[in-house]
């Protein structure tokens, strides 16, 4: 998966009509990258669905 | 111990007995605690608004009712604290944000209304991370509460003020809210009991939390007290407190060992948890290891849900009152804007899948046990959140917000630095009676709940600095 760039984050913020400045985008970038990576990982998890077995 | 200190550290249950018997009046109780807030809160920073005159008026009313023979029950005339994101009619509710800085709700949240209906008195509104979802800092509308056991550290959040107030003898019990561990973590960090009820058992309306995963729950000094409050929060439909008289019977306790090991707990937490399991075995309970796939994913998914719902709730004010948010709270509430509807649905489906697995595990065992947090201090928890959406410090607590199972934190040890360590017990959905019975049995066999921080010394040192 392509790493989210600051330019892409700016585009997304503009599309969502969010009032964020360059400083906000810099601070948000690692947070949103992480969040989107988690969301991507969860899709994989959901496909696998391993069973639960008490030992 | 002075009369004032003795009264300040009464359990809610004992205070109720004394008020009913007439050896303590609600007025004396409220006056004692107001004085204690005045002396200690400049150091603790756990109170946002003290109800003062309103609390005293309510105490006088309670006294009149009780003297007329209209005793409502064990909470009648008992002063409690309320996390300041939970609405209180006629009493400012800030959520520790300039966005809500002057908001005085017209209505109580149902949880507060239930407490007042039982005769409890709202003594104070208690500090929290801004909107219960931010990294706290000195620039917040109200600076973060200090851990009374180690005032050089902040208390863990987000119901930090509620746990600090209860641990410090500023009120016998408080309401908190928990969307990822925000009742249980501060309770553990301050050496008190915190309960996140089963999803939907207690109304979380009016608590400013993400509705799919947020529960309002009690923070108290004993399991008895938490049970008493839960009974009132649920409208007295279930006798949680009375059920504690009965033995928990043969209980099988499941330990999700692999999940715990992957979290790489502080060694002192691992040692305290091992000791707690030893005590539980000595009490005759069976402790077995269980494997539940996906608990860490459930923790991460809980934060996807939290972020999405937090943005949805704040979308308008993030535009109209942008500059009234603290920087951390604003960014925390903005990040959910970048998630898609599909991300949100996937996170909920992960919750469904892990709920099934937890239910399956809880068909073979009665209760799950784990540490509450993998680290000792709020600062370490913050560092663990370097990737704030993957669980971090909430890796043991957040899964059960998403699955909806009831979970309780109670003290199980103390670090070398003197910071409390907590044990988490997780029960079956609507299985609070069994959960509280087991916790009560453990509490009765251990000394931790009876310990209090040495606050007057800490307050004096703070002033001398």
Cα separations (Å) of B320 from A18, A19, B98, B172, B360?
11, 10, 13, 39, 47
From chain B, the residues in CB contact with A10 under 8 A are none
Residue B179: the pLDDT is: 98
Q: Is the dihedral of CA B24, B27, B30, B33 positive or negative?
A: negative
Is the CB of residue B428 less than 8 Å from the CB of residue B415?
no
Give the nearest partner residue to A43 out of B293, B346, B390, using CB atoms. B346
Say whether pLDDT at B419 is over 80.
yes
| Nearest C-alpha neighbor of B149 from the set B402, B442, B421, B431 | B421
Q: What is the DSSP letter of A3?
A: P
Say whether pLDDT at B252 is over 60.
yes
Of these residues, B8, B111, B168, B182, which one is catalytic?
B182
Per-residue pLDDT of chain A (55 residues; tens, 9 = 90+): 689 999 999 999 999 999 999 999 999 999 999 999 999 999 988 776 554 545 4
What pLDDT, in 10s, does the model give residues B333-352? 999 999 999 999 999 999 99
pTM of the model: 0.96
Average the pLDDT over B270-288 and give the result. Answer: 98
Percent of chain B with pLDDT over 70: 96
Q: Is the dihedral of CA B38, B43, B47, B48 positive or negative?
A: positive
From chain A, the residues in CB contact with B387 under 8 A are 34
Q: What is the DSSP letter of B183?
A: T
Say whether pLDDT at B388 is over 50.
no
Q: What is the ipTM of this complex?
A: 0.89
Euclidean distance between CA atoms B236 and B433, whole angstroms = 13
Encoded tokens for B384: 């663990």
Write the DSSP assignment of B322-377 as a string of letters: GGGS-HHHHHHHHGGGGS-HHHHHHHHHHHHHHHHHHHHHHHH-SEEEEES-SSSS
Phi, psi (degrees; rounded to nearest 5) at B49: -135, 120
3-state helix, strand, coil split of chain A in percent (to 5) is 65, 5, 30
What pLDDT, in 10s, does the model give residues B78-121? 999 999 999 999 999 999 999 998 999 999 999 999 999 999 99
Give the nearest partner residue to B331 out of A24, A38, A54, using CB atoms. A24
Residue B383: the pLDDT is: 78
Euclidean distance between CA atoms B82 and B127, whole angstroms = 9
Q: Which distant-in-sequence residues (6+ apart) come within 8 Å of B443 by Cβ?
A: B193, B222, B223, B410, B449
Nearest-CA residue of chain A relative to B388? Answer: A31
Average the pLDDT over B180-186 and give the result. Answer: 98
Identify the three-state secondary structure at position B80. strand
Say whether pLDDT at B403 is over 90.
yes
Euclidean distance between CA atoms B414 and B272, whole angstroms = 8
What pLDDT, in 10s, does the model give residues B36-57? 999 999 999 999 999 999 999 9
Chain A residues touching chain B at CB-CB below 8 Å: 9, 12-13, 16-20, 24, 27-28, 31-32, 34-36, 38-39, 41-43, 45-46, 49-55
- B449 burial (CB, 10 Å; 0-12 / 13-18 / 19+) is buried
β-pairing verdict for B79-83 and B173-178: parallel
Is the CB of residue B187 less than 8 Å from the CB of residue B423?
no
CB count, 10 Å around CB of A24? Answer: 18
Euclidean distance between CA atoms B173 and B90, whole angstroms = 21
Q: Which distant-in-sequence residues (6+ apart) come within 8 Å of A36 by Cβ?
A: A4, B338, B339, B343
Euclidean distance between CA atoms B88 and B259, whole angstroms = 39
Give the nearest partner residue to B254 out of A9, A32, A54, using CB atoms. A54
Q: CA of B198 to nearest chain A CA: how many angstroms apart?
A: 21
DSSP H or E stretch at residue B409 = strand B407-414
Encoded tokens for B46: 């756990």
Chain B residues touching chain A at CB-CB below 8 Å: 254, 288-294, 297, 300-301, 303-304, 307, 318-319, 322, 327, 330-331, 334-335, 337-340, 343, 346-347, 349-350, 353, 356-358, 360-361, 364-365, 387-390
Buried/exposed B125-136: b ≥16 CB within 10 Å, e otherwise: bbbbbbbbbbbb
From chain A, the residues in CB contact with B304 under 8 A are 35, 38-39, 42
Average the pLDDT over B213-220 and give the result. Answer: 98
Q: Which distant-in-sequence residues (6+ apart) come within 8 Å of B363 by Cβ?
A: none
Say whether pLDDT at B138 is over 90.
yes
Nearest-CA residue of chain A relative to B391? Answer: A38
Contact A31 B388 (CB under 8 A): yes
Say whether pLDDT at B463 is over 60.
no
Euclidean distance between CA atoms B388 and B82, whole angstroms = 27
CB count, 10 Å around CB of B85? Answer: 31
Is B83 considered catalytic here? yes
What integer best gives the mean pLDDT of chain B?
95
User: CA dihedral in degrees (B435, B436, B439, B441; nearest 10)?
Assistant: -110
CB count, 10 Å around CB of B90? Answer: 12
From chain B, the residues in CB contact with A39 under 8 A are 304, 339-340, 343, 346-347
Q: CA of A5 to nearest chain B CA: how many angstroms apart?
A: 13
């Amino acid at each position: 998966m392509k790493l989210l760039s600051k330019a892409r984050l700016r585009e997304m913020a503009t599309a969502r009509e969010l009032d964020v400045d360059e400083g906000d985008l810099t601070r948000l970038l690692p947070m949103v990258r992480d969040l989107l990576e988690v969301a991507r990982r969860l899709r994989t998890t959901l496909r696998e669905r391993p069973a639960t077995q008490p030992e | 111990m002075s009369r004032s200190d003795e009264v300040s550290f009464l359990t809610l249950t004992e205070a109720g007995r004394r008020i009913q018997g007439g050896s303590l009046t609600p007025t004396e109780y409220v006056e004692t605690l107001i004085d204690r807030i005045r002396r200690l809160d400049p150091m603790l920073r756990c109170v946002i608004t003290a109800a003062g005159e309103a609390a005293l008026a309510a105490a006088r009313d309670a006294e009149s009712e009780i003297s007329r023979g209209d005793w409502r029950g064990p909470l009648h005339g008992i002063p409690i604290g309320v996390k300041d994101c939970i609405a209180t009619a006629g009493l400012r509710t800030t959520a520790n944000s300039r966005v809500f800085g002057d908001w005085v709700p017209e209505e109580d949240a149902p949880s507060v209304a239930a407490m007042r209906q039982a005769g409890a008195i709202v003594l104070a509104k208690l500090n929290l991370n801004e909107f219960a979802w931010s990294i706290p800092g000195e620039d917040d509308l109200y600076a973060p509460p200090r851990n009374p056991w180690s005032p050089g550290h902040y208390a863990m959040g987000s119901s930090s003020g509620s746990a600090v107030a209860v641990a410090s003898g500023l009120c016998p019990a408080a309401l908190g809210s928990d969307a990822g561990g925000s009742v249980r973590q501060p309770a553990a960090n301050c050496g008190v009991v915190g309960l996140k009820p089963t999803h939907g058992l207690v109304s979380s309306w009016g608590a400013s939390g993400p509705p799919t995963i947020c529960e309002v729950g009690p923070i108290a000094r004993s399991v008895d007290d938490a049970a008493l409050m839960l009974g009132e929060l649920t409208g007295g439909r279930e006798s949680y407190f009375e059920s504690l008289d009965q033995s928990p019977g043969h209980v099988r306790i499941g330990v999700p060992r692999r999940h715990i090991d992957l979290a790489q707990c502080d060694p002192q937490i691992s040692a305290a948890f091992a000791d707690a399991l030893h005590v539980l075995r000595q009490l005759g309970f069976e402790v077995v290891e269980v494997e539940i796939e996906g608990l860490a994913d459930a923790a991460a998914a809980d934060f996807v849900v939290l972020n999405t719902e937090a943005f949805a709730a704040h979308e308008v004010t993030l535009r109209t009152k942008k500059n009234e948010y603290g920087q951390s709270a604003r960014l925390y509430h903005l990040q959910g804007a970048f998630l898609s509807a599909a991300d949100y649905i996937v996170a909920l489906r992960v919750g469904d899948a892990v709920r099934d697995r937890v239910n399956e595990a809880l068909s073979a065992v009665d209760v799950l046990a784990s540490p509450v947090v993998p680290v000792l201090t709020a600062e370490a928890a913050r560092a663990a959140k370097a990737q704030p959406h993957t669980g971090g410090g909430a890796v043991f607590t957040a899964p059960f917000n998403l699955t909806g199972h009831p979970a309780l934190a109670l003290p199980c040890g103390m670090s070398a630095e003197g910071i409390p360590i907590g044990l988490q017990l997780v029960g079956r959905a609507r299985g609070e009676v069994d959960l509280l019975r087991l916790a009560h049995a453990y509490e009765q066999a251990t000394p931790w709940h009876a310990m209090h921080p040495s606050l007057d010394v800490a307050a004096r040192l703070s002033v001398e600095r």
